[in-house]
Amino acid sequence: MNKNTVLASGWLVAALFAGMMLGGGFTPQAEKTGVVDLADVVARSQFGKGSEERFRAMRVQREGLLEFMNTYRIMTVEQATKLRDLSLKETSAAEKAELDKLKEDIKKTDAKNTELSTKTTQLTAEERALMQQYGTQAQQIGDLAQRWAQEFTNDLEGWVRKQDEETVKRVRDAVNEVARAQGYSVVFDARVAPYGANNLTENVVKAMDAKS
């Protein structure tokens, strides 16, 4: 799985905003402007932190599964599928025990393969057949891991896109709420007006957290 591909679309949601956002809903006597550091709002808000933590957990789960499959390739497709199912979910104590046992069984098979591969005496017909079986399994699991790696990358990128859309909506709503409450007619992204007065970032973070 290409981590850089996934992370490149991570939490830089400020790039999705226009340079200016209107508070709306009122007509002030004189224009009152403010600025908001949108990236900082996302990074500091409970929603933003929760999204980042969830993304990391999802990524770690998938990377861990692929790393295990790459290290121990002597397993059946059925074992690999069960391994995936148990690795990518919140497991109960019983399921955790099942996962641990499954991994141990796979490791034992891998150890058996190593034993046969390094055997100094001639292999029996049964051992040669087993080695052939192990070789077939290793190829199947290698191919399966490659397909899953691409699938995981697509899934994570899709999750990030959806989460970004929700983040944009929440931040916009929070900015508009603060702007209306404090009488601001125009609120700029701090990237556009880095030296602008009336920084509303802290208030926007609080407004977002109040709705989390």
- Distance CA(131)–CA(149), nearest Å, equals 27
pTM value is: 0.78
pLDDT in single tens digits along all 212 residues of the chain: 544 433 333 333 433 444 444 444 444 456 788 999 998 999 999 999 999 999 999 999 999 999 999 999 999 999 999 999 999 999 999 999 999 999 999 999 999 999 999 998 999 999 999 999 999 999 999 999 999 999 999 999 999 999 989 998 999 999 999 999 999 988 888 877 777 778 999 999 999 999 87
3-class DSSP assignment, residue 32? coil
- Distance CA(88)–CA(45), nearest Å, equals 27
pLDDT tens digits, residue range 27-78?
445 678 899 999 899 999 999 999 999 999 999 999 999 999 999 999 999 9
Sign of the four-CA dihedral 118, 120, 122, 124? negative
Task: Note the pLDDT of residue 29.
Answer: 54
In the structure encoding, which two tokens stand for residue 188, read together? 């700029």
Which residue in this structure is represented by tokens 């929070």? 174
Task: Note the pLDDT of residue 147.
Answer: 97
Q: What are phi and psi of 115, to 5 degrees?
A: -60, -45
Non-local CB neighbours of 141 within 8 Å, separated by 6+ positions: 69, 73, 74, 75, 77, 80
Domain ranges for the chain, please list them.
3-210
Q: Give CA separation, 129 vs 80, 121, 124, 132, 142, in Å.
A: 22, 16, 9, 5, 20
Inter-residue contact 183 to 25 (CB < 8 Å): no
